[in-house]
Amino acid sequence: MHEYSEHLVLGQPPRKFERYLTSAEIQRAVKETGLRINERFAGEEPVFVGVLTGCFMYMADIVRASYLSCTIDFIKLSSYGDGMESGRVRLIKDIDCDIRDRHVIVVDDIVDTGNSWDFLKRFLMVRNPKSLSMAACFRKPKSVQTGVEVDFISIDLPDEFVIGYGLDYAGQGRHLPDLYILSGEETK
Ligand code: IMP
Ligand code: MG
């Protein structure tokens, strides 16, 4: 039986992380969010638009937890900034499907400043969807303080850097089923 450890050191420069939420805790919250999405869109066939790359685990779980027939599509953004800062947002890959008159649910791993969601709202609204909402697995306090509205949030986090469940540090850690938080200790 393989197990993921409670403490990890990864990335460049190397950083220490410690387990913060288990996969079971995440799954419980995601299932509840899926049911809320189901209630909101019952009888509809929405388009789920995953924001690559971080969305990949949450996207797979949330579409199954929502029990809705749906269209799956992906968009990719890039923000200028280093491994731990979010910066200005730029489009790398557009969606392929036509969202006119469709209910669109953007699915992202985490909302930090809300810049990505602001960009996506402006970018997708001009295509006249029937509705546009957002689901994010995690949310940090910054976006709450600045009044950014997100329709479906599974878990609120403190203002700390996290990895796992799709989220990376310098390209590493996305595969981890649990969520890890940056540890205050220096690596040595
Ligand atoms: P925002 O545009 O500031 O809301 O940031 C959203 C994006 O920044 C997310 O989709 C992530 O890709 C990335 N991000 C924000 N916080 C973290 C974190 O703690 N760990 C890993 N990536 C993060
Ligand atoms: Mg992202």
Considering its fold, how many domains does the chain have in total? 1
> Does position 129 have pLDDT exceeding 70, yes or no?
yes
Crossing angle (nearest 10°) for helices 23-41 and 56-66? 50
If one compares 80 and 43, the residue with the highest pLDDT of the two is: 43
Instruction: Please tell me the distance from the alpha carbon of residue 145 to that of residue 7, in angstroms, as a whole number.
Output: 31
Instruction: Please tell me the distance from the alpha carbon of residue 47 to that of residue 30, in angstroms, as a whole number.
Output: 18
Provide the residue type at 99 as one letter: I
If you take atom 3 of ligand 1, which residue's CA is the nearest one?
113
Please provide the DSSP assignment of 48-102 as one string: EEEEETTTHHHHHHHHHHHT---EEEEEEEEESS-TT----EEEEE---S--TTS
Give 88's pLDDT tier (boundaries 50, 70, 90). Answer: confident
CATH, residue 65: 3.40.50.2020
Instruction: Please tell me the distance from the alpha carbon of residue 94 to that of residue 85, in angstroms, as a whole number.
Output: 23
* Residue 83 maps to a domain: yes
- For ligand 1, which residues put their CB under 6 angstroms from it? 51, 54, 86, 108-116, 161-163, 167
CA-only gyration radius of the chain, Å: 17
> 122: part of which helix (H) or strand (E)?
helix 115-125
If one compares 185 and 165, the residue with the highest pLDDT of the two is: 165
* Residue 14 maps to a domain: no
Q: Which residues pair with 13 in a beta bridge?
A: none
- Residue 1 CA to ligand 2 center (angstroms) comes to 31
Give 81's pLDDT tier (boundaries 50, 70, 90). Answer: low
- pTM reported for the whole predicted model: 0.94
- Cα torsion angle, 46, 52, 54, 57, sign: positive
* Residue 93 maps to a domain: yes
User: Which residues, 6 or more positions from 128, have their beta carbon under 8 angstroms from its beta carbon?
Assistant: 99, 100, 101
Ligand 1: nearest atom to the Cα of 53: 12
Choose the catalytic residue: 61, 109, 112, 168: 112
- Residue 165 CA to ligand 1 center (angstroms) comes to 13
Phi, psi of 28 (to 5 degrees): -60, -45
Boundaries of domain holding 142? 23-157
* Residue 74 maps to a domain: yes
> Does position 84 have pLDDT exceeding 80, yes or no?
no
Residue from 61, 77, 85, 185 nearest 135 by CA: 61
Instruction: Please tell me the distance from the alpha carbon of residue 136 to that of residue 162, in angstroms, as a whole number.
Output: 14
If one compares 94 and 184, the residue with the highest pLDDT of the two is: 94
* Residue 128 maps to a domain: yes
Let me know if 112 is a catalytic residue. yes
How does DSSP classify residue 41? H
* Residue 44 maps to a domain: yes
The angle formed by the CA atoms of residues 150, 153 and 155, to the nearest 5 degrees, is: 140
Q: Which ligand is nearest to the CA of 134?
A: 1
Q: What percent of the chain has pLDDT over 90?
A: 86
How large is the average pLDDT for residues 149-156? Answer: 97
Give 85's pLDDT tier (boundaries 50, 70, 90). Answer: low
- Residue 188 CA to ligand 1 center (angstroms) comes to 27
Digit-coded pLDDT (tens) for 31-79: 999 999 999 999 999 999 999 999 999 999 999 999 999 999 999 998 7
The whole-chain average pLDDT of the chain stands at: 94
